[in-house]
Amino acid sequence: MASLDSVSIAIFLGAILVMAGILSSLLALRFGAPLLLVFLLIGMLAGDAGPGQLNFNDVRTTYLVGSVALALILFDGGLRTKFQSIRIVLAPSMVLATVGVLVTAVVAAPAAKYALDLSWTEALLVGAVVASTDAAAVFLLVHTQGLRLRPRVGATLEAESGTNDPFAIFLTLMLVEFISLGESSPGHVVMELAREGVLGAVIGVIGGRLVVVALNRMALPQGLHAPFVATAALVIFGVAQISHASGFLAVYLAGIIIGNRPTRAHNSVITFLDAATWLAQIVMFVLLGLLASPQRLLDSVGPSVIVALVLMLVARPLAVLLCLAPFRFNWREKVFIAWTGLRGAVAIFLASIPMLVGLSKAYLYFDVAFVVVVISLLLQGWTLGPAARWLHVALPRVDRGPRRVELDLPGQLEQQLVGYPVRSKSLYVRRGLIPSWSKPTLVIRDERILSPAEADPVAAGDYIYLLAPPEKAEALDRFFVDMPPSSAPDPHLLGDFMVSGEHTLGELAQIYGVSAGEEQASLTLADYFDIHLDHAPKVGAELVLDPIVLVARSISGGRVNVVGLRLPEDEEQIVPLTRRQKAKRKLAEIWSSVAGV
């Protein structure tokens, strides 16, 4: 019975630790503390050196939990990655994820050698352990600090963080093998890298396609789609690892495949993985905190701080500058990408590998990685928002999204039902706008279900449900949040081919001779962008209005307030028409129609 009681106590204390971690997130979100540090601190307080007095030194369990957690985190990241958004930054991201990791490890190695009195191989292992950035840490802190990064910067960090872990893991394993066996060769390393990378990619792509087919063809009971996908991700990870391929690369690519194809219950899968990855991160950080020993950390904290500073101020910036030199990034973007190389659970997870195989000085690697992660989250994590704003690579987030309800429709994958509460200051109420690719289907008012015609006009306090493609559902949010105040366009931006977003299509048709139907003549250019774009307007967004292209040149309050007119290159330039030219064009049109008759 005593053994049963110990199991019950372990379950109770584990649940209390996880619950404390979740509740502590409220404090971290309010005061801006790097949230991941809270979980590490809770683990340390619960350990044998803290008031919790839990004696935990099970490295194997920590490695198992860390592997599962990291696989789910990478799969979730791939699931949310739209290939269109990372396609333009795929080359620089891959260079950062491979060459960048290697350069970071090599540059950090001398600091580790002389500060910690290690051999060159051991110092390079320290560099490899702390070389990769942590996707969960980067985007969790970006979200909690209310930032939305510029598309190219955000996509680069997203792709790099998701793909540099497999290379860092490979580099760490190769160095652990070399230290353990005392021999290796460049040919062996290249062959292992090629096998792990190529085979991992093949397993990930095939596995992702099989999951898509199974998800769409099997009639699973409601609610089991999300657990099935999460379990399938771990199966793909396990198959790759058993085949001595990169399971982390395989599961990330599988996520990209599944996330970029129409699948059943897509949004319930996303919601489920949100909770699963969040819980996985909490458990992983708590376990890593339990493994840490304050006494050991104090013995090596000085040299570890030196390694951390060299990593942040020398190794990472140098790697970013070298890797991004062939690509068209400005200096502000390079500086921000260099500063956003946050270290998280991945570094401590990699440091547990030497402990697992029993290397000498194994705990030293763990302690150095622990100190590096803490300093990185403190210095880089707390300054991430100010750095982004100072370098002008991010804009503050607009109003938080509305409470969106998404319902899958059995029998098809092209449309789903999306519901919103209607707000009095929303774009939908104040301007009567709705995207061309969505269709209002029903309205709930005073607990009555009405058709859109019966409910017309839809008023604040109603609930409206629309049909929309699943991949565009999130783009509907901007029509149902309170409209932020807009500002007048900069008069210095306006000229013959730069107009205010408040001009109507009818006015544009009269002045520039473009085509605009009667039903659209009263729409402003800002309205035209809102209706026809699949996403929230961004600077540089384009829409065709025959025979010219409308280009968003300035955004204010979430709407386009300055529009550029791009002229066709292979045609005569379009210029504002004089009254005589308009009359001649009208007579020519009449003559053409008469001649055609």
Q: Calculate Rg over the CA atoms of the chain.
A: 28
Over the stretch 382-431, which tens digit does the pLDDT of each residue have? 888 788 888 888 765 554 556 777 776 766 667 878 888 988 888 788 77
Q: Are 425 and 483 in contact (CB under 8 A)?
A: yes
Looking at the chain, the whole-number percentage of residues with pLDDT higher than 90 is: 13
Find the mean pLDDT for residues 285-311. 84
307 and 166 co-located in one domain: yes
Choose one of 479, 510, 531: the last residue of a domain: 479
The overall average pLDDT reported for the chain is 78
Q: Are 181 and 111 in contact (CB under 8 A)?
A: no
Tokens of 543: 């829409």
Tokens of 303: 């040299």
Confirm whether 52 is domain-assigned: no
> Over 60: is that where the pLDDT of 42 sits?
yes
Task: Round to whole Å and give the CA distance between 110 and 1.
Answer: 55
Domain residue limits at 530? 491-596
470 and 543 co-located in one domain: no
**Predicted local distance difference test score (pLDDT) of residue 272:** 83
> Over 70: is that where the pLDDT of 531 sits?
yes
Tokens of 260: 């970029």
443 and 535 co-located in one domain: no
User: For 102-111, 193-202, 266-275, which range has the lowest pLDDT when averaged over its residues?
Assistant: 266-275
**Residue, of 205 and 56, whose pLDDT is higher:** 205
- Please state the domain count of the chain: 3
**Residue 584's domain is classified under what CATH number?**
3.30.465.10
Confirm whether 11 is domain-assigned: yes
**Predicted local distance difference test score (pLDDT) of residue 43:** 79
- Which 8-state DSSP code applies to residue 466? E
Phi and psi of 219, rounded to 5°?
-90, 75
Confirm whether 91 is domain-assigned: yes
171 and 293 co-located in one domain: yes
Best CA proximity match to 333, nearest among 127, 548, 92: 92
103 and 184 co-located in one domain: yes
Which band of pLDDT confidence, cut at 50, 70 and 90, is reported for residue 208? very high
340 and 413 co-located in one domain: no
The torsion defined by the Cα of 162, 163, 168 and 174, in degrees rounded to 10, comes to 140
Choose one of 479, 502, 534: the last residue of a domain: 479
**Predicted local distance difference test score (pLDDT) of residue 563:** 82
Over the stretch 544-563, which tens digit does the pLDDT of each residue have? 777 678 888 777 767 787 88
Confirm whether 484 is domain-assigned: no
Q: Are 264 and 225 in contact (CB under 8 A)?
A: yes
Question: E strands within 178-287?
Answer: none
Find the mean pLDDT for residues 525-531. 79
Best CA proximity match to 66, nearest among 142, 150, 134: 134
> Over 60: is that where the pLDDT of 575 sits?
no
Confirm whether 348 is domain-assigned: yes
